[in-house]
Structure 1
């Protein structure tokens, strides 16, 4: 998504986030992290952190990740990362929020930053800090570029609508496989190819009513409420304001048409990673929204949120972070993901079953032996694999997809879709397991709950 003045809302954000996370972990090993417990030391700690991360970023400037394209304006991932790091010194409220979150975690877990198994928790807190700072920086630059009011929440709303459009475009492109949901979005039963599939060429051609019905359809077809239909009041007014949605869609479309050649965007706009990033931001903002509402404060989608929760993170997000920390910790201890070793699926499959597996993989454009090789990349000695021994491989991969994202540097190559370099999408995993998406999500969430419960003991 591109808007006037914004730099961090495009496809490169995923790599910016990863690079800042990596360099932050390296910095934490060099600075006096116990100073997060002393407010009088926070300014000095920020200076030390900035120096350490800047040095680490410079060391990574010529790596493949550092040199990767960060946005459509020619800025590299390294340049965007360094710019956001220095914004942190100019907008110290986000550092204050981070140190408060670290102190809160210390109250629960002690000096967790010294524990290799806690890298997942550290990464999440760094990600939260930079994700909220990113939207503030882009909102400020949007105001400068256009002279119109904007807030971090409004940037988030633009991004939600952009992601919704891309989800709808994907459904339209595969309307025969998604006829019921496409019919629900269009508001009529389908009788042949819907003309809207050919007519919608860009986000400017997406109708507000489709966005509203798409969100409404998600609980029925995806297993969880859409962004306009949760219990949160964040988008309550937007749900009932199709004219406002239409105006925002037109603004995104007009600027994308005027600002740049879209050819480079075509290569990435449909990738599953875009939806994964949206989901991560979505749950973060929903958590913030619920906390604000619980405190009795008023809220609308244009209101600038306070910094992320300081004293108590959203319960689900914390629990997921704890489970993610366990997973990342195992990878750190073993030097690789809990994955290079003997398969835990003891009984070999028959030739008929293997042929059926290969046929499903071929239908999804995955390597024929994807499931066979992915099973072999599991380690029966891994704690997390033992905890999920009763789950199928697609469910286990869905757990990693939820907790650590579709792309993590520690995943074995055998787990990845060669065409994207990431885990298969949830839809692909559901098809591999021969179950529906709601069933996949239900079993995935049950497995995560078991990991959370075991990690708390």
Structure 2
């Protein structure tokens, strides 16, 4: 969601939150939290503790700025996750009530459990308190910046309402797109039985086209179809007045939609670049067909009305070209004495620049391949077996055997936008091969692993 002046309401917030939580845990374990253990003190020590926390947190965030998570896009204005996290950390000095409320929760928890922040098992409790502090601070900062940008009043609660409506719209769009599987709920939202694709699914191009009545009906349908009351139908008073004010909902939806339309094409050229690429590919095919036709006619050939010339076959297959990339013979047996140390060695500048360009085109961090390569454990048995395979092939093997999301994966291997390994399409593009070739080589690598396992399990003669 984009609104004038806001920086923290978009897709990157989840990664900003995680980075702030990770670095805060590291910092709070090293700080002297005496004011928390002895709360009967003047405010000065609490302020000094805040300043020490912010200073140490800033150093930790800067250290993480070059990681995959830190370099990920934080919003649509070009700010990274690390930049947003660092800016929000410094806002604690401008908004001291949020730090004071955080310390108050630490004091209360200390009264129940003692110095719980020293217990490794209490990471979840401490991270939750940090998350709550920054969630409130985020809405306050964005609300104040919205006021400065538009001159209109806005509170943190109103900013929360904007976000709720944006979430509601996206869920309604999801239901409309998959109306076959959600006929009853879509019917409840639209107020009629659904027998075919609803025309509203094609008409709702953006949040500005979402009707307030649909938001209210969607919230009412969640208790039956989602298992819990919707945000407009809970006992909370946060949205109590909004449920009976469709005009207010409609005005907020239009405001979000108008600003997103205004700002969506100002900072990137992905749309026209994609069309230019498609046009170039079409022209390339066109001139190829024309050239083949002229050559065929020059040789005295004729054409049938329904005859289509086959595509030109390249001199080398894709597998042969890829085999020569490292100057290695594909049939060479490298499993026995292959040294995997070369896998983590730095690559030359030209290839590094090419890798960064491909990663950016796939919406991955620019240094994704470099960081992912350095995160490999060079001494592992699996890497020794598969050291002849490229990094994308090995990641495809992990994805097949362990799934896209596993707690053992280093952060550098995962797409910051999803927290999972890149998709097969992304891995194929990173390796410069097609999807079928990637799958073939992945399956061959898995067979190699199974053969090694069978060899280890075989009894000695």
Cα deviation 1:170-197 (Å, max 9, x = unaligned): 0000011111110100000012111101
Q: Kindly tell me: are residues 408 and 255 of structure 1, through their superposed partners in 2, closer, same or farther at Cα, counting changes over 3 Å?
A: farther
The CA distance in 2 between the partners of 1:264 and 1:12, in whole Å, is: 17
1:12 aligns with 2:16: no
User: What is residue 367 of structure 2 aligned with on the other side?
Assistant: none
Aligned pairs for 1:124-143 (under 5 A) are: 124-143=128-147
User: What is residue 73 of structure 2 aligned with on the other side?
Assistant: 69
* Higher Cα Rg, which structure: 2
User: What is residue 246 of structure 1 aligned with on the other side?
Assistant: 250
Q: Kindly tell me: are residues 206 and 193 of structure 1, through their superposed partners in 2, closer, same or farther at Cα, counting changes over 3 Å?
A: same
The CA distance in 2 between the partners of 1:77 and 1:225, in whole Å, is: 33
The CA distance in 2 between the partners of 1:94 and 1:49, in whole Å, is: 13
* TM-score normalised over the length of structure 2: 0.59
User: What is residue 3 of structure 1 aligned with on the other side?
Assistant: 3
The CA distance in 2 between the partners of 1:223 and 1:417, in whole Å, is: 31
Q: Kindly tell me: are residues 205 and 261 of structure 1, through their superposed partners in 2, closer, same or farther at Cα, counting changes over 3 Å?
A: same
The CA distance in 2 between the partners of 1:263 and 1:206, in whole Å, is: 25
Question: Is 2:36–2:110's contact at 8 Å kept on the other side of the alignment?
Answer: no
Give aligned pairs, total: 291
Cα deviation 1:116-154 (Å, max 9, x = unaligned): 000111100000000000000000000000000000000
The CA distance in 1 between the partners of 2:207 and 2:418, in whole Å, is: 24
Question: Is 1:36–1:45's contact at 8 Å kept on the other side of the alignment?
Answer: no
The CA distance in 1 between the partners of 2:180 and 2:127, in whole Å, is: 40
Cα distance, 1:29 vs structure 2: 2.2
Cα distance, 1:371 vs structure 2: 11
Of 155, 166, 173 in structure 2, the residue corresponding to residue 169 of structure 1 is 173
User: What is residue 403 of structure 1 aligned with on the other side?
Assistant: none
Cα distance, 1:419 vs structure 2: 10
Structure 2 unaligned residues grouped into runs of 5+: 272-395, 422-461
For residue 176 of structure 1, give the secondary structure of its aligned residue in structure 2: helix
Question: Is 1:204–1:254's contact at 8 Å kept on the other side of the alignment?
Answer: yes
User: What is residue 96 of structure 1 aligned with on the other side?
Assistant: 100
Question: Is 1:30–1:52's contact at 8 Å kept on the other side of the alignment?
Answer: no
Cα deviation 1:395-419 (Å, max 9, x = unaligned): xxxxxxxxxxx98966899xx9999
Structure 1 unaligned residues grouped into runs of 5+: 268-366, 375-405, 424-457
For residue 178 of structure 1, give the secondary structure of its aligned residue in structure 2: helix
The CA distance in 2 between the partners of 1:373 and 1:408, in whole Å, is: 7
Of 50, 53, 57 in structure 2, the residue corresponding to residue 46 of structure 1 is 50
The CA distance in 1 between the partners of 2:416 and 2:149, in whole Å, is: 40
The CA distance in 2 between the partners of 1:139 and 1:410, in whole Å, is: 38
Q: Kindly tell me: are residues 245 and 69 of structure 1, through their superposed partners in 2, closer, same or farther at Cα, counting changes over 3 Å?
A: same
1:228 aligns with 2:243: no
* TM-score normalised over the length of structure 1: 0.59
User: What is residue 28 of structure 1 aligned with on the other side?
Assistant: 28
Question: Is 1:202–1:253's contact at 8 Å kept on the other side of the alignment?
Answer: yes
User: What is residue 205 of structure 1 aligned with on the other side?
Assistant: 209
Q: CA RMSD in A?
A: 3.0
Of 55, 61, 64 in structure 2, the residue corresponding to residue 57 of structure 1 is 61
Question: Is 2:68–2:416's contact at 8 Å kept on the other side of the alignment?
Answer: no
Cα distance, 1:262 vs structure 2: 9.2
